[in-house]
Structure 1
Amino acid sequence: MKIDISIIISTYNSPEWLKKVLYGYNTQTYRNFEVIIADDGSDERTKKCLDEIATEVFYSIKHVWHEDNGFQKTIILNKAILATSTDYILMSDGDCIPREDFVENHIKYREEGYFLSGGYYKLPMKISEDITKEDIYSGRCFDIHWLKKYGIKSSFKNNKLTNSTFKSWLLNTITPTNASWNGHNASGWKRDFLAVNGFDERMQYGGEDREFGERLINNGVQAKQLRYSTVCIHLDHARGYVKPEMIKKNYKIRKETKLLQKTWTEFGIKKT
């Protein structure tokens, strides 16, 4: 079996959520992948979780870790990119459980000169806590009828869980949402990542993934909308790490990237 896609999953001190996510990857219909855990300084609980689940899942797991020094997701993602062994990379988060066709659809729609832009379906905290391994393995946690029994209301966003190929294509085509690099569900070619020098390591929370995608686009890579085709459910959690100064700093960097049509960051994988 030739591994031809690397899946980078970012995490920080959320082993129970990460375990559910990794169960999701154990259900995948497309299996020629490796998993790289981009760990932004978690304590020993995450390593213990990975050691335990490695005995159950069919895929290999590589744990890329650095010491906890605040929100440094961009730094650990760059390290994880270098740790991959394939030409194509899918990125998601340790709070996003993939449906069984998640990786298959990223493989199906990948194309030279493009990156794929997916979305997610947000769950409330109670359902996030209650979802079990059996719910994931059976796939019922992606069934809107099952979710409605747990209080999910009727909404247009429920279309994100559609399993109709035609309906997904139609919704991808007509959605007013721009195709952007979304760190919870996006994929692209490793050479394209390296060509823009990866993520800007000055950036913390707030648009750091979008800025990366904007440099990809500035460098000639086109974005393909797949928010209704690559399905994952997002487990709820607190965001205590978010600070106004992070948002302000990131906004300034993004503004410069757009204004100057930047394709390269001096603060990425290669340092000058």
Structure 2
Amino acid sequence: MGIITVATTPQSDLHDLDDDGDDALRREAEAGESSRASRHWWDRNADEYQDEHGEFLGDDRFTWCPEGLDEADAKLLGDPAELAGRDVLELGAGAAQCSRWLAGRGARAVALDISFRQLQHSRRIDLSRGLAPVPVVQADAAVLPFADRSFDLVCSAYGAVPFSADTAALMREVHRVLRPGGRWVFSVTHPIRWAFPDEPGVEGLTATASYFDRTPYVEQDEQGRATYVEHHRTLGDRVRELVGAGFRLLDLVEPQWPEGHEQEWGGWSPLRGRLIPGTAIFVAERD
């Protein structure tokens, strides 16, 4: 099975952007611009990302966050022994490491990502391990190419949600494709981190921005075209989005930085992780 591509955003200018000297600023970025920027950025950076973080992520490990919380221990999707035969969709799957872990427990996992290059890394891992390929789909998570009530579980570990301009619509899409009683679990950068510089050292411990400023973070080229976009929502915003889409919030997990974990990942570090939360994991259920 190849990579199924569902074109939900224009692609004509995705591969002719030069990020040398990009400016970083806070400005509005609508859905189409955000989606195009994400597709281009992850296509261009997928190789470097997998090279840098592949060992930590593993080929078939389901870890929710840089703190290293594994689904095998957290059981946020339910008892791993009961995953067999369940239909699971992973959003923003990257190289489908989480989906591969789910498939190893008998789940019928589908990995979706906006980046074709990320999904090619999924194929690379499958081939190198001699495994049956994880089904993958290239599409925008805000416009899911699946029928209503197709899945028992939907999950996302730092994928899709932070890069979507309209996460209320994304939540409604997830609700639509879930079966009644289905669970939706996703991890994102803890919203409080938006008030602090994204630095692993002491400079990342002083708040320099308003937690309540929801203006997107944008990197753009000399022509003003966005090459990277990330969107901020407060904890309250996330709860309202979930409830508004028809979900019941079961849990909000804020993983503590574990003892003995000394690996830095961007702005995540032992120094910051022991003082302020870095990840928020929302566990919700469809009525």
TM-score (norm 1): 0.31
Q: Which has the higher helix share?
A: 1
Report 1 or 2 for greater relative contact order, CA contacts < 8 Å, sequence distance ≥ 6.
1
Q: Which has the higher strand share?
A: 2
